[in-house]
Structure 1
Amino acid sequence: MLKLSQLRVADTAALHLKDATGELLYFKDPTKGAGAVEQPVLIHVYGPGSEPYRKAQLGAQRRVMALVKKNRRALEERTPEERTADTAALLADITHSVEGLDLEGRPVREGMQALYADPAAGWVADQVNAFAADWANFSKSAPKD
């Protein structure tokens, strides 16, 4: 018999980022010199069972409703730029941490929001969005990098 606690999923999981062609991304730590080994580029994401994820979803809903109310427009009438900005903010809110990405001195949320909002890097946002929405990625038996 399963215990109820066995049905819980992890709060976070690591997405091994792929490039736009689907190849897994790796980096070498420059502080390790010539002996550096390749490590996966990881984005650690809060999952749908976590409190930060639920708060991010609520925040996204509130931002959209405020925009609709302020501009007296239907939700469907948001511009592509507004939709991208909304998605970038939500994804930044559910990003816990990153490994192998140079955030150029910015805090994680700020750096990742800029990346998620960049149309030329839309493939990153697409991966994180799909990964975060899949409960299986946060199961205790999900493969770990």
Structure 2
Amino acid sequence: MNGFNIDTLAAAPSASLILLHPATQEPLAGPDGPATIDHYAPGSPEYAKAKAKQSDRWLGRLNKRGGKAKQLSAAELDESKADFLADITIGFNNFASQKYQHLSGRDYHHALYADPAYGFIVEQFDEQLGDYANFLTTSAKN
């Protein structure tokens, strides 16, 4: 093989987002360790499936409007984002919401992402997804 081995920069199939306090940027932690969100990474089949579902939802909204392209409202964009993040979430670790304790699984994840009171989580998730370096294997980062 000649040249650089590009395989060393292939993304891992999943990653963990360490949640940070929105004001201090200190990692949040529970008694058992850091508060994290395990999720599928770009390049994984699960992520691709979630992107396809997001596209289908947008097309469905367009069809409901009679095929007329109108800008999505802020509420529609937020709902779409919450759906997408819930679709790529594997699980929450070391944090919980009493407000949504009656929910579980995807419904629980979606409720937290859709609630503007927890907007800092969505912002941090967006930042994580926007930087490919977050999905490199440990050896590739060095």
Q: TM-score normalised to the size of structure 1?
A: 0.81
8 Å CA contact retained: 1:40, 1:100:
yes
Distance 1:108 1:99 in 2: 12
Unaligned 5+ runs, structure 1:
30-38
Do residues 68 (structure 1) and 68 (structure 2) align? Answer: no
Do residues 15 (structure 1) and 9 (structure 2) align? Answer: no
Do residues 139 (structure 1) and 136 (structure 2) align? Answer: yes
Do residues 113 (structure 1) and 110 (structure 2) align? Answer: yes
Q: 2:96 is paired with a residue of what secondary structure? A: coil
- The alignment covers a number of residue pairs equal to 133
8 Å CA contact retained: 1:53, 1:94:
yes
- 1:99 maps to what in 2? 93
Q: 1:53 is paired with a residue of what secondary structure? A: helix
Do residues 83 (structure 1) and 86 (structure 2) align? Answer: no
Q: TM-score normalised to the size of structure 2?
A: 0.83
Structure 1 ranges of 4+ moved more than 4 A? 1-4
Unaligned 5+ runs, structure 2:
none
1:75 Cα deviation after fit: 4.5
RMSD between aligned alpha carbons? 2.1
Task: Report the identity percentage.
Answer: 31
